Structure 1
Amino acid sequence: MLVRMTTNADEPQTRPRRRAPAGAAVLREDVTEAIRAAVFEELAAVGYARMSIEGIARRAGVGKTAVYRRWRSKLHLVLDLVSALAVQGLPVPDTGSLEGDLRLLYEVTSRALRHPVASQVIPDLQAEAARNPEIAEAMQKALREGQDGVASKIVVQARQRGEVREGLDEDLALDLISGPLYWRSVVIRSPKLPKGYLAALARATAEALKAV
């Protein structure tokens, strides 16, 4: 029986394969974004305590290695996501009046807090923050740099227009602006805001800021 030996000449001519780069160069951004999205979905579905790298990888359609290449644990993954929320921030409204700015801020914030994923993820992370100092620090940073960063700029704009006094206590102003809606949406988790609530809240908060 004659066995024919194959040589390179017998094979289709193909271009030589380039070696894939190692390290950070192989971390595709679309895969990273898919994992981040999967984390939010997994948090909303099972909560932080039951969340696993396996579940995240399965939901993202990737292997566990792809997750561990980017984050060494689920804690670091969640901390990274929470910190990313802080730098994204909210748009700073500039309607020409303090009440108008507050009304727009409340409308945007209310929609964000009522989102099905956010409404489940935020309370769960807040509960976890009571047990985990690292999550607590990340949550505080995200909230302060996100919501309060915008609120602070609204106060600055109002001060420049002469709507509030120069010596206004900024911490008190931020509490007045951010507290009521957060309490209603996240703490007591009111399923639906009454008609006209945001307009009334903006009006009352503007009057309070002018009075203090």
Structure 2
Amino acid sequence: MERKSTDQKSRRKPSGAAVIRSDLTRSLHRALFEEWAEYGYAGISLERVAARAGAGKAAIYRRWPSKREFAAGAVHAAGISLSDFSDHGSLEADIGAFLTANRRAFRHPLIRRVLPDLLAERLCAGELTSVVDQIAEVRRENGERLLDRAVQRRELSASIDRELALDLIPSPLYWRMIIRGRPISRAELDRQVTALVAALRVC
């Protein structure tokens, strides 16, 4: 009987070998962004990323088949494409929440350095083009819902130029914080909200 029990134990597969640890995945994402911020996407070394995360390179390839898929997963997981598009009761409150979420993201030192490089990959038709396009598509769809709510509340005209509106909403904040590299106070953010609401009503 004891031999049978021993044989059964010997036939069991190691339980930890195929387990994808979420804490290590987060560490790999963080290490990737640190590497990306320092060297740019083109200069990323997966060996260095793994070392930063205290892991082996195999830990990366168990999760993602390529550097592109690794980067795409990290971008989505980190929420670079994420903003607050939820319903806050009014157009002014919705835009305020959206800009506040973006301001918080743009203040992060890694995002400030990675985001321009990510967009440069898009402009150069690099391998992350489809990733950026997917992010942009999701943001536009969520932005459409924000505008739909404002139209339903009669805060905006149903004939609003939606392409212009969706281009306009994030632009002043991005220009201020990412292009010019300058901070923005809460009072200045509130003034942007007021200006954007006024502009959207004549779009």
**Structure 2 counterpart of 1:29, one-letter code:** S
State the shift of 1:197 in Å.
Answer: 1.5
Deviation of 1:205 after TM superposition, in Å, equals 0.8
Give the gaps of 5 or more residues in structure 1.
Answer: 1-12
Q: Which 10-residue stretch deviates more, 132-141 or 174-183?
A: 132-141
The structure whose Rg is larger is 1
The CA deviation at 1:87 is 9.9
The higher-RCO structure (CA 8 Å, 6+ apart) is 1
Q: Equivalences for 1:4-153 in 2 at 5 Å?
A: 16=9, 18-20=12-14, 25-84=18-77, 89-146=82-139, 148-153=140-145
Match of 2:192 among 193, 201, 210: 201
Give TM-score scaled by structure 1 length.
Answer: 0.80
1:48 Cα deviation (Å)? 1.6
The letter of the residue matching 1:164 is L
Pairwise CA RMSD: 2.9
Q: Deviations over 1:46-81 (max 9, x none)?
A: 322221111111011111111122223323311332
Alpha-carbon distance in 2 for matches of 1:127, 1:87: 15
CA distance in 1, matches of 2:132, 2:75: 6
8 Å CA contact 1:164–1:210 kept in 2: the answer is yes
1:83 is displaced (CA, Å) by 4.5
Secondary structure of the 2:9 match is coil
* Partners of 1:87 and 1:205 in 2: CA distance: 22
Q: TM-score, normalised by structure 2?
A: 0.83
- Is the CA contact (8 Å cut-off) linking 2:84 and 2:97 kept in structure 1? no
Alignment of 1:158 onto 2:161 = no
> Residue 29 of structure 2 contacts residue 74 of structure 2 at CA under 8 Å; is this kept in 1?
yes
Distance change (3 Å), C-alpha of 1:22 and 1:107: closer
Contact 1:53/1:74 (CA < 8 Å) preserved in 2?
yes
Match of 2:3 in 1: none
